[in-house]
């Protein structure tokens, strides 16, 4: 009985070295990636994108994917966790490379929490040049903001890290912001960043070197699989997806109607449950009334807008479904222990302290 089990185990214990001989499509040239780093970028997002490419090269037994790192002035920049990354060149070198025979096959932007202040004229000009010359671009995490600022996402579907979604939607009203892991729209890909960067990289590996190579990379990284770009980021409703489909549907409906809150009666009609059934569900799973939970969702959205935008308090109140700024201010203070104005002051001070 042990022999068949040992045979099965030996078949399954295929390591990275054994898969290097897998048949992969051969291409005439490699795939060049130009990484544009901005101060405070996410180290996790960058590593999650680059390491799968490195491992794919190892599986393929050749340096198919190549990458270079550029910063605004060619000097090292610090990530959000304080690690400095050296640069191969400055952004100006990418401008020159675009018109050369060694132009990058993809330009990847990596930014951080302070992305709103990093849309410099030279950077936006570089991005517009890439757009004009049809150089594919990928924005990881908050870097979607830069493409929006450059006018390259108008009316197009896109995504950004969920923490910036409310601010992006309110600041650039023409955008079609989704909650997907990553969204491909022609030559432009926007990605939620962090671990979503891994799934974007795996799609790139699969499309260029084949699914078997991508599976070998997943095996090495202990990832069960790579997810599709259409998969959703985190949301309040996703916490209940595997527990209660009804709860996930109800909370998803609440998330879609932050600016125009639905009554419990309207929610009940939409999901086909009675109001009493919905109250029982909320009491069972989160020991909270539906109306109180809904209020908390709206206030969390307001909190994100306070922290990540300069929107006036009255506009934030309207964006989160409050009829008056005074009502909004009272509810916010009851929930967080300070007024929206006080919270904004504290948020700004915290960001300055972290940056220093």
Alpha helices in the chain (DSSP H): 2-12, 43-60, 91-98, 121-132, 144-149, 165-171, 196-209, 211-220, 245-256, 264-271, 275-286, 290-308, 313-319, 325-336, 340-355
pLDDT of residue 154: 81
Q: What is the DSSP string of 127-158?
A: HHHHHHTT--EEEEGGGHHHHHHTT--TTSEE
Averaged over 201-221, what is the pLDDT? 94
pLDDT band, very low/low/confident/very high, at 48 (cuts 50, 70, 90): very high
Please state, in angstroms and as integers, the Cα–Cα distance from residue 344 to each residue in 217, 310, 349, 350, following that order. Answer: 44, 9, 9, 10
- What is the edge-to-edge ordering of all strands in the sheet holding 89-90? 89-90, 65-71, 31-37, 106-110, 137-140, 188-191, 182-185
Domains of the chain: 30-220 (3.40.50.880), 237-355 (1.10.10.60)
Q: What is the pLDDT of residue 310?
A: 87
pLDDT score of 207 more than 80: yes
Contacts of 101 (CB under 8 A, 6+ apart): none
Phi and psi dihedrals of 20, rounded to 5?
Answer: -65, -20
- Report pLDDT for 12: 40
Give pLDDT tens digits for 217-227.
Answer: 999 998 877 88
> How far is the C-alpha of 60 from the C-alpha of 39, rounded, in Å?
33
Residue 347 has pLDDT above 80, yes or no: yes
- Over residues 51-75, the mean pLDDT reads 96
**Nearest residue to 139 (alpha-carbon basis) of 170, 175, 173:** 175
Is the pLDDT reported for residue 245 higher than 70?
yes
Q: Which of 129, 55, 45, 119 is nearest to 79 (CA)?
A: 45
Residue 21 has pLDDT above 60, yes or no: no
Q: Is pLDDT above 80 for 240?
A: no
Residue 45 has pLDDT above 90, yes or no: yes
Q: Quick one: which of 67, 42, 43, 37 has its CA closest to 54? A: 67
The answer, yes or no, to whether residue 117 has pLDDT greater than 60, is: yes
User: What does the pLDDT look like over 295-331, one tens digit per residue?
Assistant: 999 999 999 999 888 899 999 999 999 999 999 999 9
State yes or no: pLDDT of 90 exceeds 80: yes
* Residue 101, φ and ψ in degrees, nearest 5: -75, -15
Cβ atoms 177, 160 nearer than 8 A = yes
**How far does Cα 127 stand from its chain's mean position?**
19
In a 3-state reduction of DSSP, which class is residue 15?
Answer: coil
């Amino acid at each position: 009985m042990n022999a068949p089990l040992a045979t099965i185990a030996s078949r399954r214990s295929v390591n990275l070295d054994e898969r290097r001989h897998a048949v992969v499509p051969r291409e005439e040239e490699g795939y060049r990636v130009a990484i544009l780093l901005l101060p405070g970028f996410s180290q996790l997002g960058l590593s999650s994108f680059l390491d799968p490419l490195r491992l794919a090269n190892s599986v393929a037994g050749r340096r198919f994917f190549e990458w270079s790192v550029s910063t605004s002035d060619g000097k090292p920049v610090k990530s959000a966790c304080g690690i400095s990354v050296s640069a191969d060149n400055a952004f100006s070198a990418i401008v020159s490379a675009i018109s050369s025979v060694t132009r990058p096959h993809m330009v990847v932007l990596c930014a951080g929490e302070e992305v709103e202040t990093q849309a410099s004229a030279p950077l936006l000009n570089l991005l517009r040049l890439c757009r004009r010359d049809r150089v594919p671009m990928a924005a990881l995490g908050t870097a979607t903001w830069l493409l929006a600022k450059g006018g390259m996402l108008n009316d197009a579907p896109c995504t950004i890290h969920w923490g910036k979604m409310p601010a992006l939607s309110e600041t650039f009203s023409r955008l079609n912001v989704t909650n997907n892991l990553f969204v491909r729209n022609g030559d432009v890909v926007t990605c939620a960043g962090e671990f979503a960067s891994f799934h974007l990289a795996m799609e790139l590996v699969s499309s260029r070197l084949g699914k078997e190579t991508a599976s070998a990379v997943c095996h090495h990284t202990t990832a069960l699989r790579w997810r599709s770009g259409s998969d959703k980021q985190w949301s309040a409703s996703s916490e209940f997806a595997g527990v209660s489909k009804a709860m996930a549907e109800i909370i998803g409906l609440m998330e879609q109607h932050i600016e125009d809150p639905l009554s419990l009666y309207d929610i009940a009609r939409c999901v086909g449950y009675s109001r009493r059934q919905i109250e029982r569900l909320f009491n069972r799973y989160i020991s909270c009334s539906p109306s109180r939970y809904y209020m908390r969702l709206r206030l969390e959205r307001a909190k994100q807008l306070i922290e990540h935008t300069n929107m006036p308090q009255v506009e934030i109140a309207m964006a989160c479904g409050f009829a008056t700024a005074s009502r909004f201010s009272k509810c916010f203070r009851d929930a967080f222990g300070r007024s929206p104005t006080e919270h904004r002051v504290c948020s700004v001070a915290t960001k300055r302290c972290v940056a220093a």
